[in-house]
Each structure stands twice: as structure tokens, then as C-alpha cells.
Amino acid sequence: FMEGATANVVGYNLYALGDLVGARAAIDAARKAHERSGSLLGVTIAKCYMAVIERSAGHLPAAERLLRDAIADARARIGPNSYAEALAGTLLAELAYETNASGEALTLVENLGPLIEGAAVIVYPLASVPTYARVLQLTGRTEAALDMLERVYERVRGSVYRRLASVLVHDRVRLLLDQNRGADARALFGEHRGKQAETAPTVANEFDFFAEGRLLAAEKSYVTADRIFDGLLQRTKDSGRWRRHILALILRAKNAGHNQREADRYLLEALRLAQPSGFIRSFVDEGISVIEGLMRLRAAHAKTDPALSAYATRIIDAAQTTPLRVQKLTSPAAEKDQLTQREAELLRCLTEGMSNRDIAVAMSVSETTVKWHLKNIFSKLAVTNRVQAVRAAQTSAILHTPPKGGA
């Protein structure tokens, strides 16, 4: 067991340093050692780490197989809703979101919400916070996403989790820029960076540079943004981290929007790298300029590369059905007041007099998740207990209107 635990730690640190080859070897050794020790948790962690490595390398199908296998094994050996299942589930949510399986991603993050935000399962849920925020945004709850990112950032700020803090700042900047709140994004980034500006990307601060590039592009400082993105392109390519390389290519293409030929060149490279694994949201989430570029590429390659053209169509179709930014906008107050599908389902259970345990069984979640949903429901309904929540449901149209976040 100790041999496996040590190899897992070594493997994860090699991954964090960008050595994917060394990380694979260490994690494979960890899995074999834990299989000999009979430790389900050790094997699960090894599979999760290997999935993270494959995800970083851009091999999404391989990562998904590892995570689904870990979940199936945990359910078979110790039943549903286990600690081991939660570990794999938080990572699976990110893959589901990326490949546009938004329904599955939503279910996973709703069920694992308390673990994801509460950091109850070591680093996995924290690493899934950006995915949780993106699902919230996708379902029209942008302010809730920003609030959650800020809460978690304040918990890890100044701690050893420097890379996670960098990731959280990047996603907060991205969301604020999506809302045309450039001044807020710049102020947030300045506060994060402090008085000493970073001179070069490292493993710990790389996402600071993604965020800074986005800010500079939004401020029309295209040349400076290009230098940042070019540096990120070289770093991610040299280390074989193709998932991040694809993101850098897409952002480089967006920043070259004033030069359509150059923009299309970077976007085409990103599209070809992403095609084998079926990346979707990495393109869609970057907005209309990327989708318009994909439309041009689809037309240009319809005859010479029909498979690539069909892949571009999948991404374009996903963008056209996205409920955010292209459909009606809601005010922050409306976002906070409207119940999600899961919350509405739980409120119906409350009106039927069910206990927390009964609700957990009926909804196939833990009692901790039920309590978390109740807290959110009470806040949205401006009540303090179950009786008041039931009364509010019975005297209003809450349960008679389609809830936000799914039909």
C-alpha cells in the first residue's frame, strides 16, 4: 500500500511539472501496487490520476474510460455514493462538459456540489470547481458561478495551492469579460498579482498568463497579448499538454481576429488537434468570433476534408443550442431567485412530507447533498426552515413553472 501511495504522489507531481511520460510510468506502478494490496481507494486514485494525465494529453476518450471504470468498480465493491465514486465523478463531470454532454455534467455537479465546493475530497473537487462554475453559467446562473469561484479562491489564496488559485482567477476573468465587465476583471487580476508582476510562466502560475492574455486582448493590446499566447503555445507544445495547447491556439486565433487569414490558421490547427477526442466546449465557450471562424473553415474544407468539416458542424450546432448569451438574459436577482431542476424536485419532496433520508433515497444522492440543496432553497425563498419552504411552495407558482437548468 505504501509503495502504491508513494508512486501516486510521485506520479501526480510529475504530471504537475509537465512530465507526462514519467507521470504515466509512476501512476501505472502505483495502480499495480494498490491492486496487490487490495486497496480500492488506492486503485481509484491511480485511475483518477491517470485520467488527469490522459486529459492533459488531449486523450479524452481514454480519460473517460478510466473514470467510468473506477466508478463501476466502486459501485460493484462498496455500493453507490461512495468516497471513491465521488473522486472519479468530479473529474468525469469535466469531461462530460467538454464533450457537450451537459445533462450528465449538470447531474454530476448537482449531486457532488457539496463535495466540489466544500473540498471534502482532497484536491479533486477543488480542481472541478471551474467546471462546476461553467455548468452554472451554461444553465444561466453566471452570478452564482462568480460567487462560488470567489468563495473558493479566498479559501486557497496565499496557500500552497498556487496553481489552483491561478486557475480560479483565470475563470473569474473569463466570466467577467463575457459580461463586458473589463474594469472589474482588470481590478481582480491586479489584486491577485499584487505589486510584483510575474516575468515568466511556471507550473504554478501558468493560468495567470492565460488570464492576462485575455485581458490584453479585450483591451485591444493585441501585440502584447500575442507575445503571451505565443509563449504559452511553445510551453504547452514542448510538454505535450495538448489540451492546454488547444486552448492557447483558440485564444491566439481570437486575438488575431483583425487578420482573418492568421486567425483561421491558428483555429484550423486547434480544430485538427481537437478532432480525435471531440472537444466541443473549448471552442463554444470562446464566443461568436470562434464560431464564425469555424463556419469559414467548414466551408473551406467541405470537399477536401469532409470529416473535419463535419466536426466543425458539431461544434457550431452546439453553439447554436447553447442557452447562454444567445437567448434571453436574466438579471442577477432573477438568477439567484429561480430554483434549479434538482432544487425544484427536492422542494416537491418536501411538500410530500419526506424526511432528508427519504429524499436522499428518492433522488439517489447523499443526505449531505440534500442538506446543501435545502440551504440553497431556503436562501432563494427567503425562508429559514422546511415548514416555511413548504408554505412558500404552496402559495406561489414555484412548482408550476419550468425550473432553470433543465426541463
What residue spans define the domains of the chain?
Answer: 1-136, 242-322, 337-400
C-alpha cell at 287: 464566443
pLDDT tens figures, 16-46: 888 999 999 999 999 999 999 999 989 999 9
Can you tell me the distance from the alpha carbon of 323 to that of 106, in angstroms, rounded to the nearest whole number? 14
| Chain CA centroid to CA 257, Å | 26
Phi–psi pair at 291, nearest 5 degrees: -65, -40
> Is the pLDDT confidence value at 364 over 90?
no
Give 255's pLDDT tier (boundaries 50, 70, 90). very high
More confident residue, 251 or 86: 251
Q: Give me the helix-helix angle, 367-381 and 341-351, nearest 10°.
A: 90
CB contact set of 377 (below 8 Å; sequence gap of 6+): 339, 343, 346, 347, 389
* Correct CATH for 1-136 of 1.25.40.10, 3.40.50.1100, 1.10.357.10, 3.20.20.70: 1.25.40.10
Query: Which pLDDT belongs to residue 160?
Result: 78
Instruction: Name the burial class of residue 284, with classes exposed (0-12), middle (13-18) and buried (19+) by CB atoms within 10 angstroms of its CB.
Output: buried
Please name which of 154, 125, 157 lies closest in space to residue 372, comparing C-alpha atoms: 125
Does the pLDDT at position 5 exceed 80?
Answer: yes
pTM of the model: 0.73
Tell me the mean pLDDT in the region 144-171. Answer: 87
| Mean of per-residue pLDDT scores for the chain | 84
Distance, in Å, from the CA atom of 284 to the CA atom of 320, rounded to the nearest integer, reads: 9
3-state class (DSSP) for residue 404: strand
Q: Is the pLDDT of residue 244 over 60?
A: yes
Task: Assign domain 337-400 one CATH number from 3.40.50.12160, 2.130.10.10, 2.40.50.140, 1.10.10.10.
Answer: 1.10.10.10
